[in-house]
Amino acid sequence: MTSVSERELRSIVEEVLAGLAAAQAPAVAQAPAAAHAPTAAQPPDAPAAPPSQRPAGGPDIDIEVPDPTVPAERRRLGVANPANPSGLANLAASTAARLAVGRAGPRPPTRAMLLFGADHAVTQDAIFGDVPTALLEQLGLFTVQTRVTSQDEFLLRPDLGRLLSDEARTLIEQRCTKKPQVQIVVGDGLSAAAVTNNLPQIYPVLQQGLQGAGLSIGTPFFVRYCRVGLMNDINDIVQADVVVLLIGERPGLGVADALSAYSGWRPTAGKTDAQRDVICMITGNGGTNPLEAGAFVVEHVRNVLANQASGVELRLKQSGSR
């Protein structure tokens, strides 16, 4: 096998590159506008080549990309020449899923990747964010914490998020009214943004609606690092007929501020999701408006009290099976 020195190899490469440059130069001179037209090798969203790779004398390439998060760009179809344009537009308009984003060769286009990255960043902010103390003080909510001690532990140990810390148990015992008809609890859950964005609207409606229905309300409070099952631990202390837990939902790529309202008839240790009800997707961002949701929660609580049941048991009573 004949060996080739490094100098000879460099010489061969330089000759090949020189030949390619000579072959490309006439095409650029004859059709400079073609540099802006999308081709199979350069899709519309492809990034510009660095200056060292641009043909000599070629025009500058515009690499500005519109903000992909604005509504017009978020819903823009990226499929070139669809077989049924109106059908594709109707399909994409029927869902918030990422349909018809197009492609750049075998990969998603730059615009779709930027939107995905932006939405993912919003979910991280929602999960790792904190509910403003000023908001909690404005609504008269004192704060307690579960047995979780950090955000990382909260994500890794859901079981600890279902139990109050010793300090929290003592504080609730001291400050909360016992045996009310309804106990309202607010928890950050998996989205602090859900609480921050929706609590100022839903909480007054919920509180005023319950009072207007003649129901006694316990002392409301906020729980940090909260999981849904914490309702059981809380009610072992306050002994309410109904516990309503407003908690942030797991954020999705597109909606990261959805709130859920969980409720249960006399929750206690050992009760599961089968004994609970939930009204989910409470958000002004494509879900149930928090003002409307507050009124719906009040009606649901009245129904739970009237039937003295929640979850599966409530459904069986409503269907006449009980």
pLDDT tens digits for 48-103?
555 555 555 555 666 676 777 787 788 888 898 899 999 999 998 888 788 898 99
Mean pLDDT value across the chain: 86
Question: What CATH number is given for 128-318 in this structure?
Answer: 3.40.50.11240
Write out the DSSP string of 123-147.
Answer: HHHHHH----HHHHHHTT-EEEEBS
The answer on pLDDT for 32 being more than 50 is no
Which residue has better confidence, 23 or 274?
274
> Where is average pLDDT lowest: 7-16, 147-156, 259-268?
7-16
> Where is average pLDDT lowest: 11-15, 72-76, 286-290?
11-15
Q: Where are the domains of the chain?
A: 128-318
One-letter amino acid of 45: D
What is the Cα–Cα distance from 84 to 250, expressed in whole angstroms? Answer: 36
Q: Which pLDDT tens digit goes with each residue over 299-314? A: 999 999 999 999 999 9
pLDDT of residue 27: 44
Band of pLDDT at residue 28, cut at 50, 70 and 90: very low
Contact 291, 202 (CB under 8 A): yes
pLDDT of residue 282: 96
Band of pLDDT at residue 37, cut at 50, 70 and 90: very low
One-letter amino acid of 139: L
Q: Which pLDDT tens digit goes with each residue over 175-225? A: 999 999 999 999 999 999 999 999 999 999 999 999 999 999 999 999 999
Which residue has better confidence, 6 or 247?
247
Band of pLDDT at residue 118, cut at 50, 70 and 90: confident
pLDDT of residue 30: 45
The answer on pLDDT for 38 being more than 50 is no
pLDDT of residue 36: 40
Residues 240, 186, 274: CA angle, nearest 5 degrees: 60
Q: What percent of the chain has pLDDT over 90?
A: 58
Which residue has better confidence, 1 or 319?
319
pLDDT of residue 35: 40
pLDDT of residue 41: 42
Which residue has better confidence, 135 or 255?
135
pLDDT of residue 3: 61
The answer on pLDDT for 292 being more than 60 is yes
The answer on pLDDT for 33 being more than 80 is no
The answer on pLDDT for 278 being more than 90 is yes
What is the Cα–Cα distance from 170 to 282, expressed in whole angstroms? Answer: 32
